[in-house]
C-alpha cells in the first residue's frame, strides 16, 4: 500500500512546466494580499554562511564570550544575511513568495550560568532593537537582502519581539536562582515588598490606567523584588530608554497562566511593561523605523499572547499606517499564540480582543499532527474549519492565518511521525509527510514551510533539536539524524532540488499560486470520517465560481468513496493525484485514493 502511495505522490511531480509558473513578478508583489503568499521560514544563523568574518560577531574569546561554536546546537554556527541573500534562487525555486526571517536584532551573545550557557543565535535575546546583530551582518546587508528579494517579487517578513529583552535585570532577593512570580495582590505597586511594606509610588492608579500621567507616578520598581542591573550592562540596551528598570514588570518568572502570563519574565528574560504609554510609543517608533528604512512587508510577533491586549489594539493600526505611508498597502501582521488545540477558540480570541489581524495557526498544526502523524479521524478538520467563524472577520481572517506543520519550537512534522510510528518504514514516513504537505498547500491559510523540511530533515525533538543547519553542519546531534528522501546527512550542505519533498513542495506551491481558488477561495467541507480515512474539501474560484475538489486519505489502506460536488461540476481535470474524468451523477464524483494519497481535481468550466 505504501508503494502505491509513493507512486501517487510521484505522479504530481510530472506536472507540465506551464502549470509550474507562479503568477507573480517584480512590480506586483506590493499588490498581493497576505493569503496570496507561500512563506519560507528560517533562522539566518542556521541557513547559509555568506561571510565567515562575522562568525564571532566582532567579539574575541571563546564560545562563552563570542557565542560561536559550530559544534554545539545551542550556539552560533555562522549563518548570516549575506548567506541568505546568496540563496534566494533556492528559496524561489521552492515556490516561496515570502521569507519570514527569525529576529535579526542585536542580541546578548551568551546567557545562562556557567555550565548551562547558550547563545542568542535564534534572535530572541535582544539588547539593541535598532541594528542587526553583528553575527548576522550589518544593516546594509539587511537592506541588500530586502532589495534583492523585492527585485524578485518576493516579500520579507521580520520576526519582532516586544514582550521582553535579553536577561539583564537581576533581583537581589534571588541571585543565582530562579525568581518565582509575585502577584499584584501580594505585592501591590504602592508598597515596598508586600502589603505591609513601606509606601511607594504614591498616587499610581495601577497598570490598567494607561496614561502618561499615571505612569509618571511609578518611580520605584522595588514593589515585588529589588531589581538592579550589573555595572557592565547598565547601558547595554538600545534605544537608551530600555535601560530604565521602571519600564519592566520586575515580578519574577511567569507561570504562563493567569496574571503572570502578561506580567512575568519569560524564562528569566526581562519582561517589558507594555502597559506603559512610554513603551507603546517607543516600540511603534522602533519597529516603524524598520519599515521606513528597509520597506519590509510584514511582522511576525513573538510571544504575542504574553502582551496586554491594549498594547496590540494601539500598535497594530499605528504600524499599518506607517506601512501605508511607505507604500506598503498589504502589510502582514501575525502573532504567535502557542495554544495546542484543534478548537480555534483560544486563537480567535486574540483577533477579537487584542485585534491582531492574524495569528499563527497552531490549531491547523494540531489537526494535521493528530490525524496524519497520529491516529485520530479526519473529523478533527471539521472542528478546525468550523472554528473559522470565531475569528474576527470570520473566513476572511482565517485565509490570512499562516498555517504550518512544524517549526523551530515544537519540532518538525517528520519527527512527530517517527515518534508516533517508531516501526514505520521510511516509505510510510515519507508518504505521511507528503500528505501533510498537500493539506498545508491546498487548504485555507498561508502555507509556511520551515527551512529544512523540504530536504527531509528529521530532528530529535523541538527547540534546539529542530534547528539544524542547511549548510554543512558540525553538530553531532544533527549529523546522526536519518533524513527522508536522501542517504546524506546534515554533515553536507542541503541546497539541492532533487529531494522528493523539495520537488513536491515546489510543484504544489505553483499549483496553489496559479489557482485563485486555492489562495482566496471559500471552502466547503465535503467529507470527513471518525477514523483515519477520507477528508474532502471543495474550494471555489472567487471570480468564476469554478470548483476545485481536494481529497486526502489519512489511512494506511486504499479507499474509494463518492463525494458530493456542485451540480454543475460534471467533468474534472487532474492537477495532482488521480481524478475521475466525469461525475458519476449530477452532484457526485467517485474518488479513489491509495494509502496516504491525495488528489486535486479541478472542475471544467
Please say if 336 is a catalytic residue.
Answer: yes
**Alpha-helical regions (H) of 458-499:** 476-479
**Is the pLDDT reported for residue 161 higher than 60?**
yes
Chain-centroid distance, C-alpha 300 = 7
* Predicted confidence (pLDDT) at residue 444 exceeds the cutoff of 70: yes
Q: Confidence band (pLDDT; 50, 70, 90) for 28?
A: confident
pLDDT of res. 531: 98
Catalytic annotation, pick one of 297, 310, 336, 361: 336
Q: Where are the domains of the chain?
A: 515-603
Q: pLDDT at residue 250 above 80?
A: yes
463 is annotated as an active-site residue:
no
Catalytic choice (302, 354, 428, 469): 302
Distances (CA, A) of 249 to 158, 196, 263, 444, 471: 26, 20, 6, 39, 40
DSSP 590: E
**Single pTM value for the model:** 0.95
pLDDT band (50, 70, 90) for residue 5: very low
| pLDDT, tens digit (0-9, with 9 covering 90-100), for 368-425 | 999 999 999 999 999 999 999 999 999 999 999 999 999 999 999 999 999 999 999 9
pLDDT at 37: 98
pLDDT classification of 9: cutoffs 50, 70, 90: very low
Output the nine-digit C-alpha cell for 116: 548551562
- Range 228-257 average pLDDT: 98
Residue pLDDT, tens place only, 421-435: 999 999 999 999 999
CA angle, corner 80, sides to 75 and 85, nearest 5?
155
As a whole number, mean pLDDT of residues 82-106 equals 98
Choices 3.40.1130.10, 2.70.98.10, 2.60.40.1180, 3.90.1150.10: CATH for 515-603: 2.60.40.1180
- pLDDT for 13 beyond 50: no
pLDDT for residue 114: 87
What is the pLDDT, as a whole number, of residue 178?
87
pLDDT digits (tens, 9 = 90+) for 315-340: 999 999 999 999 999 999 999 999 99
Strands (E) located in 387-513: 402-403, 446-450
Say if residues 189 and 201 touch (Cβ distance below 8 Å): yes
pLDDT of residue 187: 98
- Residue 1: band (very low, low, confident or very high) from pLDDT cuts 50, 70, 90: very low
pLDDT above 70 for 3: no
**Average pLDDT for the chain:** 95
Q: Whole-angstrom Cα distance, residue 222 to residue 151?
A: 51
Reply yes or no on whether the pLDDT at 496 is more than 80.
yes
Cβ contact 222:192 at 8 Å: yes
Cis peptide before 413 (omega within 30 of 0): no
pLDDT of residue 507: 98
**Average pLDDT, stretch 427-444?**
98
Please determine, for residue 7, whether its predicted confidence score (pLDDT) is greater than 80.
no
Give the pLDDT band of residue 177 (cuts 50, 70, 90).
confident
pLDDT grade, residue 6 (50/70/90)?
A: very low
Amino acid at each position: 500500500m505504501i508503494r502505491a502511495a509513493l507512486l501517487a505522490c510521484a505522479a504530481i511531480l510530472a506536472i507540465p512546466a506551464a502549470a509550474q509558473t507562479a503568477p507573480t513578478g517584480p512590480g506586483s508583489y506590493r499588490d498581493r494580499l497576505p493569503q496570496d503568499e507561500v512563506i519560507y521560514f528560517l533562522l539566518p544563523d542556521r541557513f547559509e554562511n555568506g561571510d565567515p568574518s562575522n562568525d564571532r560577531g566582532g567579539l574575541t574569546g571563546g564560545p562563552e564570550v563570542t557565542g560561536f561554536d559550530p559544534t554545539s546546537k545551542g550556539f552560533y554556527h555562522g549563518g548570516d544575511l549575506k548567506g541568505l541573500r546568496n540563496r534566494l534562487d533556492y528559496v524561489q525555486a521552492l515556490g516561496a513568495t515570502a521569507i519570514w526571517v527569525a529576529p535579526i536584532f542585536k542580541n546578548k551573545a551568551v546567557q545562562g550560568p556557567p555550565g548551562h550557557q547558550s547563545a542568542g543565535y535564534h534572535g530572541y535575546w535582544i539588547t539593541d532593537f535598532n541594528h542587526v546583530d553583528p553575527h548576522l551582518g550589518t544593516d546594509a546587508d539587511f537592506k541588500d537582502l530586502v532589495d534583492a528579494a523585492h527585485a524578485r517579487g518576493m516579500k520579507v517578513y521580520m520576526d519582532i519581539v516586544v514582550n521582553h529583552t535579553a536577561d539583564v535585570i537581576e533581583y537581589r532577593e534571588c541571585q543565582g536562582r530562579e525568581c518565582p512570580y509575585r502577584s499584584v495582590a501580594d505585592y501591590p505597586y504602592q508598597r515596598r515588598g508586600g502589603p505591609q511594606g513601606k509606601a511607594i509610588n504614591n498616587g499610581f492608579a495601577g497598570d490598567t490606567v494607561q496614561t502618561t500621567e499615571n505612569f509618571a507616578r511609578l518611580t520605584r520598581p522595588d514593589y515585588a523584588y529589588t531589581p538592579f542591573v550589573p555595572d557592565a550592562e547598565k547601558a547595554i540596551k538600545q534605544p537608551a530608554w530600555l535601560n530604565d528598570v521602571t519600564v519592566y514588570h520586575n515580578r519574577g518568572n511567569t507561570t504562563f497562566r493567569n496574571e503572570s502570563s502578561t506580567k512575568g519574565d519569560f524564562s528569566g528574560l526581562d519582561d517589558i511593561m507594555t502597559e506603559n504609554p512610554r513603551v507603546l510609543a517607543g516600540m511603534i517608533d522602533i519597529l516603524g523605523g524598520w519599515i521606513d528604512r528597509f520597506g519590509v512587508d510584514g511582522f511576525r510577533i513573538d510571544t504575542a499572547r504574553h502582551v496586554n491586549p491594549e498594547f496590540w489594539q494601539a500598535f497594530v493600526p499605528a504600524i499599518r499606517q506607517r506601512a501605508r505611508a511607505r507604500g506598503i498597502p498589504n502589510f502582514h501582521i501575525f502573532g504567535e499564540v502557542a495554544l495546542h488545540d484543534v478548537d480555534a477558540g483560544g486563537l480567535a480570541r486574540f483577533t477579537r480582543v487584542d485585534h491582531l489581524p492574524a495569528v499563527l495557526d497552531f490549531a491547523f498544526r494540531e489537526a494535521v499532527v493528530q490525524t496524519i502523524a497520529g491516529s485520530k479521524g479526519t473529523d478533527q478538520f471539521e472542528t478546525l474549519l468550523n472554528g473559522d467563524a470565531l475569528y474576527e472577520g470570520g473566513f476572511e481572517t482565517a485565509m490570512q492565518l499562516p498555517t504550518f506543520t512544524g517549526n523551530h519550537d515544537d519540532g518538525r512534522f517528520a519527527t512527530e511521525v517517527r515518534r508516533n510510528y517508531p516501526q514505520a518504514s521510511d516509505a510510510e514516513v515519507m508518504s505521511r509527510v507528503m500528505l501533510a504537505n498537500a493539506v498545508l498547500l491546498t487548504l485555507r491559510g498561508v502555507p509556511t514551510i520551515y527551512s529544512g523540511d523540504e530536504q527531509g530533515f528529521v530532528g530529535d525533538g523541538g527547540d534546539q533539536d529542530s534547528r539544524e543547519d542547511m549548510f554543512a553542519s558540525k553538530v553531532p546531534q544533527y549529523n546522526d539524524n536519518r533524513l527522508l528522501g536522501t542517504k546524506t546527512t546534515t554533515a553536507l550542505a542541503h541546497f539541492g532540488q532533487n529531494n522528493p519533498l523539495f520537488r513536491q513542495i515546489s510543484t504544489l506551491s505553483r499549483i496553489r499560486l496559479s489557482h485563485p481558488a486555492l489562495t482566496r477561495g471559500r471552502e466547503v467541507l465535503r467529507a470527513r470520517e471518525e477514523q483515519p480515512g477520507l477528508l474532502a474539501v471543495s474550494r471555489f474560484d472567487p471570480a468564476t465560481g469554478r470548483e476545485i475538489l481536494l481529497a486526502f486519505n489519512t489511512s494506511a489502506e486504499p479507499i474509494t468513496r463518492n463525494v458530493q460536488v456542485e451540480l454543475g461540476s460534471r467533468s474534472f481535470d487532474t492537477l495532482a493525484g488521480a481524478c475521475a474524468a466525469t461525475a458519476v451523477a449530477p452532484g457526485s464524483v467517485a474518488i479513489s485514493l491509495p494509502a496516504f494519497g491525495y488528489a486535486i481535481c479541478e472542475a471544467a468550466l
